[in-house]
Amino acid sequence: MCKLTLNESGENKKFDYDSRLNRLLKLTKENLLITKNENIFYLTGFKGTAGWLLISGGKKYLFVDSRYSEHATKVTHKTTVILVATTYADALAEFCKENNIKEVYAAKSGLYLAEYEAIVSAMVNSSIKIGISKIDADVIRQVKEKAEIKIIKDNLNRAEKAMTKMLAFVKEGVTENELAAELEYQMRKEGGDKTAFDTILLFGDRTSLPHGVPSDRKLKLGDNILMDFGLSKDGYKSDITRTFFFGKGEHFEEMSKIYNIVRTAHLKAIEAVHSGVLGKEVDKAAREIIKSNGYGQYFGHGLGHSVGLEIHESPRLSPLVDHILDGGSIVTIEPGIYVPNLGGVRIENMVIVTKEGGVSMNNTPTDLIVL
């Protein structure tokens, strides 16, 4: 293990890293070990597939191996980068011993059992106390900064442009896999680093699968098309769902009825969004409309979730949790109805939570569209 140069500024000056660290320090004064990549990126500017961050005495110490040491020294903000030459657990224990750190608490979010067992073994051998922190480090990411909102909105609108271009490839006989691949290609052309999650793109009766996987099923006249997708850029995700109709088939009357119910629920839920409201109350606003129209049993998932560095973050909009929506949070509003052997409809927008209400970030409409 060797200590590299302390980086005072870093290449990424978009974000207020000092404020982010101060929010964490208000939650705990523990010597806190963070292993979750998204939280490490949020606090330091370093994005990689491996690395541990120790917060001790109000300072940041980033442990990385040789794959990332050069990059980490360039991009991190007020962070001492430590090169790991053995194992991460042994390097952490050695650092704590050299710096007279007697106890460390690991943030449980993103911590794997095997990692924790290795940490415990190394720490015990060095007579250092190790435990699990009671705080949830993820909460400091719930309220988005202006720079984050700008990036997320840009990523969402790039994904929408990609979808609009992909629609030109919709034709009878195209498969779900082919259209999903075209959508992902267009998102890369729009500047996405990668997809935000595995693209969902389904036809006809397969749209009743809320998280179905694209197949070689071919598009037929009269099918509806459900697509749930997003792109990732600069670490931040976007998430959108649209349902279209490829002509009017034998089930169009019922499916268009379902579409209009889902859209009404979608708009009603956005109206219910404001800072301080419980997510479950927004969920209820949408769920009651679907239930009152006789389709309650066909809406089984929660209404939405927050989006940021991860595709699913807190707060969540679900009848199962009591999460409060804070102003500055970004959440999805995505009611759906899924009838087996018939089909499904889901409409999803991303919404900024404000004191005055919910503000949709999308540019594309939610009107019923027949292609």
Give the domains, in start order, of the chain with CATH numbers: 5-140 (3.40.350.10), 146-360 (3.90.230.10)
- The pLDDT of residue 189 is 98
pLDDT at 13: 64
Please give the structure tokens belonging to residue 203.
Answer: 């036809």
Closest CA to 274 of 315, 227, 218: 315
* One-character DSSP codes across 241-267: EEEEESS--TTHHHHHHHHHHHHHHHH
The Cα–Cα gap between 332 and 252 comes to 27
| Parallel, antiparallel or unpaired: strands 330-333 and 349-353 | antiparallel
pLDDT per residue rounded down to tens, the chain (371 residues): 666 656 665 555 689 999 999 999 999 999 999 999 999 999 999 999 999 999 999 999 999 999 999 999 999 989 999 999 999 999 999 999 999 999 999 999 999 999 999 999 999 888 999 999 999 999 999 999 999 999 999 999 999 999 999 999 999 999 999 999 999 999 999 999 999 999 999 999 999 999 999 999 999 999 999 999 999 999 999 999 999 999 999 999 999 999 999 999 999 999 999 999 999 999 999 999 999 999 999 999 999 999 999 999 999 999 999 999 999 999 999 999 999 999 999 999 999 999 999 999 999 999 999 99
Q: What is the pLDDT of residue 3?
A: 63
pLDDT at 14: 81
Distance separating alpha carbons of residues 262 and 151, to the nearest angstrom: 28
Q: What is the pLDDT of residue 137?
A: 94
For the chain, what percentages of helix, strand and coil (3-state, to nearest 5) are there? 35, 25, 40
Give yes or no for a contact between 249 and 343, defined as CB atoms under 8 angstroms apart: no
Rounded Cα distance, 298 and 159, in Å = 28
- Regarding pTM above 0.75, the answer is yes
The pLDDT assigned to 61 comes to 97
The predicted pLDDT at position 67 comes to: 94
